[in-house]
Copies of this chain bind each other. A is one copy, B any other.
Amino acid sequence: MKFVIIGGDAAGMSAASRAKRNSPEMEVTVLEKSMDVSYSACGMPYNIADPLRDIDDLIVRKADVFREQNKINLLTGHRVDKIDPVAKTVSGVIISCSTNSSDPNSSRTKSNTTNINQQDIHNKFSYPFDKLLIATGAEPLIPNLPGFDLAGVMPLKSLEHGRAIKSYLKSVKKAVIIGIGYIGLEMCEALKARSIEVVMVKPGSQFLPWMVPELAKVVKQELDVNGVKTYSGYKIKKIERVRVSDKKDNNNLLAVICENTISNETLILDADIVIVASGVKPCSELAVEAGLETSISGSISVDKSLKTSDDNIYAAGDCADAVHVVTGEKCWIPLALRANRAGWAVADNVCGIETLLTGVAGTAVFKVFDLQIARTGLTVKEAISSGFDAVEVVIHTRSRAHAHPGSEAVHVAMVGDRKTRRLIGVQMVGKDGVAHRINAAAVALHLKMTVEDFFQTDLAYAPPFGPVWDPLLTAANQLLKKL
C-alpha cells in the first residue's frame, strides 16, 4: 500500500508517523515543499521574544529522524502542483533549498535515496498513491495592495517566516502589526519583550469582534498598560518605503498608510518592520483543481473519517473543515490539536482501524502579556445565527478564595440556549487560572450538557486555586436565571 501525504507539518507528520507505527510495512511518502517539518508553529512568537533562543529549538523532530528511525520517505523541497484522482498520482517540482537555514547541514539536505536523485535531475516528480492525504495547511492572507511585497513586510505562519522575522528584528526599533488576532497579539507581546515599540492597526471597528465587549475591554487595557497603541477602524491603503533624512541610523523606514473608515482621515504609521497578521486561508487550491468538494472559507470538505469527496483522498489539518460539536454543522477552525488528531485519525483509517472524529468545540487559549484569554464553543452572535435562542451573562469574580494572596480578577462570559437549556459557549479573561479552566466547559460542550447539569459539576476547590464556587459555576448560576 502506497500512502502519500502532501505537507509535512502537524497533520502530515502525525499521519506519517502513526501509519508507520500501525503498519510498519506500509510505504509512506511525505512531500513537503519547504525544508522544515514537525515544528511548533504556535511557539514562534515566544521564541522570537527571546533573542538568545535558536529558532530551530522549535523543531520537535528532525527530518532525518523521521527518515532513519521512522522509515518515512520524507521528501522536503518537493512542491506538489497537481493531484490526479483518476490516475491516482501526485506530481510537482523539486524546488531549491532555502538559503536562510541556520543549520544547512541538518534537516535541509536532500534525501539521499536513489529515487530522489533521479527525480532531482529532471527537477520534476510524480508519485502514484493508493491513499492520499492532503495536509497542506493554511497560509497568511496578504492584502493585494501596494507595498506588501516590500522588504520588512512580513507574515508569520511557517518556520521560514519565523526565521526571517527573527533575523530581521536585530535592527528593529519600531513595528506595526496589521491585524489584531491571536498571532498579532502574541507577536505584540514578543516584540515588546525585545523593547520594540509596537502599534497595531486593523480595518474592523471593533477591537476584538468575537469577544464580549466587557472582556475585550480588559484585553485592550492590558495592551494600554503595556504601551501598545491600537487603531481599530483603519483601512490599510498601502505601504511605502520612505527616507527619513534626520535619522542616520534608520533612514529607510516603512510607512503604513491607513484611512479611518468613518472620517476618511489618513493615518500614517511608520515602522522598521510590518508584521502582517490579517488572518489565514486554507491551502486548498490543489484539492479544488482535483475536483474535491470544499466548504466553509474554502476549506476542504471532509467527513468524520477525514475522507474528502474522493474515496481515496483524505484531508487533515488547517486545510480541512470539521464538524462543530455545538451546532453539528461544518466549520473551519484551524488549530493545532485538531491537526494532530486528524493526522492520527487519517493514518488509522488508511490502516483499516476505523476512526471517526466527533468534531471540534473551537476551544482556544492565548496569552497577551500577563492576561490569559480563553474561549470554547460559540459566541452569542454565532449561537443566534446558528438558530439557538441564545442568552449570555458576564460575571466578574476572583481567581482565588476570599482573602487568599495572589487573587486576580476573572471575567467570564457564558452563553446558553433557552430552548434546549444547553451550554453553548464560554469566554474567559484573567491573569490567573483561566487557561485550563476553560477545558471543563469544553468537555461539557462535547456532551451537549445543560447549564443546570454543568452547574452541578463537582469542580476542584482549594484557596490557592479558586473560590469555593469556581468562576464557571458562578457564571452558570447567573445564566440559569436568564434561561
Instruction: Give the residues in chain B near A114, CB-CB below 8 Å.
Output: none
> A376 and B446: CB pair below 8 A?
no
Q: Which of B47, B357, B470 is the one whose CB lies under 8 Å from A439?
A: B470
- Tally of contact residues, A, Cβ under 8 A: 70
A334 to B294, CA, bound (A): 54
Q: Which of B43, B60, B401 is the one whose CB lies under 8 Å from A40?
A: B401
A467 to B239, CA, bound (A): 37
A453: interface (CB < 8 Å): yes
A337: interface (CB < 8 Å): yes
Instruction: Give the residues in chain B near A221, CB-CB below 8 Å.
Output: none
> A340 and B468: CB pair below 8 A?
yes
A399 to chain B, nearest CB (A): 10
> A40 and B463: CB pair below 8 A?
yes
Surface stretch bound by B, among A254-262, A284-292, A313-321, A366-374: A366-374
A409: interface (CB < 8 Å): no
A461: interface (CB < 8 Å): yes
- Copies of this chain in its oligomeric complex: 2
Q: Which of B335, B442, B458 is the one whose CB lies under 8 Å from A362?
A: B458
A459 to B402, CA, bound (A): 29
Instruction: Give the residues in chain B near A40, CB-CB below 8 Å.
Output: 401-403, 463, 468
A391 to B380, CA, bound (A): 41
A459 to B364, CA, bound (A): 8
Instruction: Give the residues in chain B near A10, CB-CB below 8 Å.
Output: 468
Residue of B nearest to A403 (CB): B57
A471 to B453, CA, bound (A): 25
Surface stretch bound by B, among A82-90, A126-134, A381-389, A429-437: A429-437
A104: interface (CB < 8 Å): no
> A469 and B403: CB pair below 8 A?
no
A145: interface (CB < 8 Å): no
Instruction: Give the residues in chain B near A472, CB-CB below 8 Å.
Output: 439
Residue of B nearest to A339 (CB): B468
Instruction: Give the residues in chain B near A50, CB-CB below 8 Å.
Output: 405
A447: interface (CB < 8 Å): yes
A358 to B446, CA, bound (A): 19
A475: interface (CB < 8 Å): no
Q: Which of B337, B365, B372, B456 is the one whose CB lies under 8 Å from A357?
A: B456
Shortest 3 CB-CB contacts between residues of A and residues of B: A439-B440, A365-B460, A436-B436
